[in-house]
Structure 1
Amino acid sequence: MDVPSEYRPPKSSQKRRTKGSKSHQQQRVRNDFDMQNQQYMQNLGQPDMFYGGQVFTQHGYEGQLSSAPQYPGQQFLSDPVANMAMQYGHTLAGQGKDLVNQNIQKYVASSKLKYYFAVDTAYVGKKLGLLFFPYTHSDWSIRYNQNEPVAPRYEINAPDLYIPVMSFVTYILVAGMVLGIQGRFSPEQLGVQASSALVWLILELIAFSLSLYIMNLNTVLKYLDILAYCGYKFVGMTLSLLAGIGFSTRVYYGVLLWFCVSIVFFLMRTLKIHIIPHQGDDGFTKGAKRSLYLILSMSLIQPCLMWWLTS
């Protein structure tokens, strides 16, 4: 039986209404999802999401963050006091380097200074290797060219001032880092540390130069040579402090002990070439004993100063 047209439901309008309601619901769900996603992304940077090692979300507490273990050097990188100490140490070291260069140039001819700074990258690498491991080195003599020693870049056994000066500046920087990590940094404290190292170096130079004069030892050693040999200890001091910062106290003592033995061996073999062969025939035995005493004194005082200035 056919139903009158006025009582028939509009099929097309019902379908359109159904499709329209579904499309409206999907758009609403999509908008809610986008809003929640945007709010979640914004909350990732909020401090209430991470507090005290715990994770908090909109639904409450979820769990505990697993903190990764930090090595000592990582603690320094996040310490503002240590960073300030390093910056101040860099400034102080630069000022000290300029002051030393100005004072040296007043009393030393520039031509003589050029000899001690005539180095290159290859020489620096080989000389650092010799300082750290001198036990397999056999030839300790220095070559001469027309009664003048060959420049350090051509002779690994020649003394230089480049490595001592740069290692001294680096030592001041690292000392500032250590003071910052220990919470004892202050400009006065860093100045005392730098002044102490410089004063001890000058005292060494004066004492050994006077000893050579008083003992009447005929040697080709100059006071700049003595300054260079006494300044090589700053290489081991710097590396020891860096080992203590990056690893532990045991590593610091291990590196310090190794370099103490190495610097004693290096100086004894080097100074023996410079002093003992230049004695005369008259009283050779007595002169050799005096030379040996001086060599032992110069060599054995270095580990004591290395420990004192890094402890």
Structure 2
Amino acid sequence: MAMNYAGQAQGQLNRYTGSTLATLRYYFAVNQLYVLRKLRVIALPFRHKEWDRRLGEDGAPLPPKADVNAPDLYLPLMAYVTYILAYGFTLGAEGKFTSPDVLGAAGSSGLGVLVLETAMLKFGLYLRGAAVPVLDSVALSGYKFLGAVVTLAASRLCGSYGHWSALLICTLLLGTFVVKMLRAFARPAGFTPGFLTQGGRTARQDYLLWGVGALQFPWLWYLCRIPSSQP
């Protein structure tokens, strides 16, 4: 009996592990063309016209390498790692790199922002009646690290003027990208009644989405802040 129980437990673990790995493989199924096209969409969201996900013959969403509108985790992960390095480089260039612990602090701050915004995205999509996988929300939130890297680079190259200019531009582009992606996520499920959906529900839900887009500014400001020198 014990052997049977152990075998069943091992089988369930293998199925769970296999399912998890298959899910992660989907989000990392990218190629060079997808990366270039995705960066173009993020940098020029106003020019991108079609935001709906493409479906395969089986009705399942196509992987990122076959659909530029599919969320991925490759770009957010690479941007997150680059952000930590860029933050440390910026501190070092300004003589404020006191210890390697600042890299850990930057990484923790980034993860904190990611978790908090992911929860907000899930809540906002819930109010729109959309059942969206958590990793879709994680991916969408993670694209902001691209803006953080650009802002840190502009800050280093052009000083305070470049910092604030890049911060505002990245906020506008990322905010627009996030709102359009969220609308596409929510569209298939339609709307459901709720305390924010009674009377003019579409407008109110759009206000909620634009609020999420506007939050890109404080997120980026927080990620790119450089502590002042101690007297």
Give me the TM-score of the superposition, normalised by structure 1: 0.60
User: More deviation in 143-152 or 244-253?
Assistant: 244-253
Q: Tell me by how many angstroms 1:162 deviates.
A: 0.4
Q: Tell me by how many angstroms 1:284 deviates.
A: 8.2
Answer 1 or 2: higher relative contact order, Cα 8 Å, separation at least 6. Answer: 2
SS in 1 for 2:45: coil
Of the three residues 24, 30, 43, the one matched with 1:132 is 43
| Corresponding position of 1:191 | 104
Question: Equivalents in 2 of 1:230, 1:242: separation in Å?
Answer: 20
Q: Tell me by how many angstroms 1:222 deviates.
A: 1.3
Q: Is the 8 A contact 2:147 2:170 kept in 1?
A: yes
Q: Is the 8 A contact 2:144 2:216 kept in 1?
A: yes
| Corresponding position of 1:171 | 83
| Corresponding position of 2:119 | 206
| Corresponding position of 2:34 | 123
Q: What does residue range 79-228 of structure 1 map to in structure 2 within 5 Å?
A: 109-145=20-56, 146-185=58-97, 186-213=99-126, 215=127, 217-228=128-139
Pick the structure with more strand per residue.
1
* Structure 1 residues 178 and 134, CA gap change in structure 2 (3 angstroms): same
> What are the superposed Cα offsets for residues 128-175 of structure 1, whole Å, 9 maximum, x if unpaired?
111111111111111111221111111111111100000000000000
Percent identity at matched positions? 33
* Structure 1 residues 232 and 117, CA gap change in structure 2 (3 angstroms): same
Of the three residues 159, 162, 167, the one matched with 1:251 is 162
Question: Equivalents in 2 of 1:153, 1:249: separation in Å?
Answer: 38
Question: Equivalents in 2 of 1:284, 1:221: separation in Å?
Answer: 23
| Corresponding position of 2:179 | 268
| Corresponding position of 1:232 | 143
Q: Tell me by how many angstroms 1:190 deviates.
A: 2.5
Question: Equivalents in 1 of 2:218, 2:54: separation in Å?
Answer: 32
Give me the TM-score of the superposition, normalised by structure 2: 0.80
| Corresponding position of 2:202 | 288
Q: Is the 8 A contact 2:155 2:163 kept in 1?
A: yes
Opposite residue 175 of structure 1, the aligned amino acid is Y
* Structure 1 residues 303 and 281, CA gap change in structure 2 (3 angstroms): closer
* Structure 1 residues 277 and 290, CA gap change in structure 2 (3 angstroms): farther
Structure 2 residue runs without a partner (length 5+): 1-15, 226-231
| Corresponding position of 1:101 | none
> What are the superposed Cα offsets for residues 262-311 of structure 1, whole Å, 9 maximum, x if unpaired?
11111111211221452258778565355324312321212210012102
Question: Equivalents in 1 of 2:55, 2:114: separation in Å?
Answer: 28
Of the three residues 297, 300, 309, the one matched with 2:211 is 297
SS in 2 for 1:228: helix
Q: Is the 8 A contact 1:230 1:302 kept in 2?
A: no
Q: Tell me by how many angstroms 1:220 deviates.
A: 4.0
Question: Equivalents in 2 of 1:264, 1:223: separation in Å?
Answer: 20
Larger-gyration structure (1/2): 1
Opposite residue 191 of structure 1, the aligned amino acid is G
| Corresponding position of 2:228 | none
Q: Is the 8 A contact 2:125 2:186 kept in 1?
A: no
Q: Is the 8 A contact 1:116 1:161 kept in 2?
A: yes
* Structure 1 residues 148 and 220, CA gap change in structure 2 (3 angstroms): farther
Structure 1 residue runs without a partner (length 5+): 1-104
* Structure 1 residues 240 and 295, CA gap change in structure 2 (3 angstroms): same
Question: Equivalents in 2 of 1:220, 1:152: separation in Å?
Answer: 19
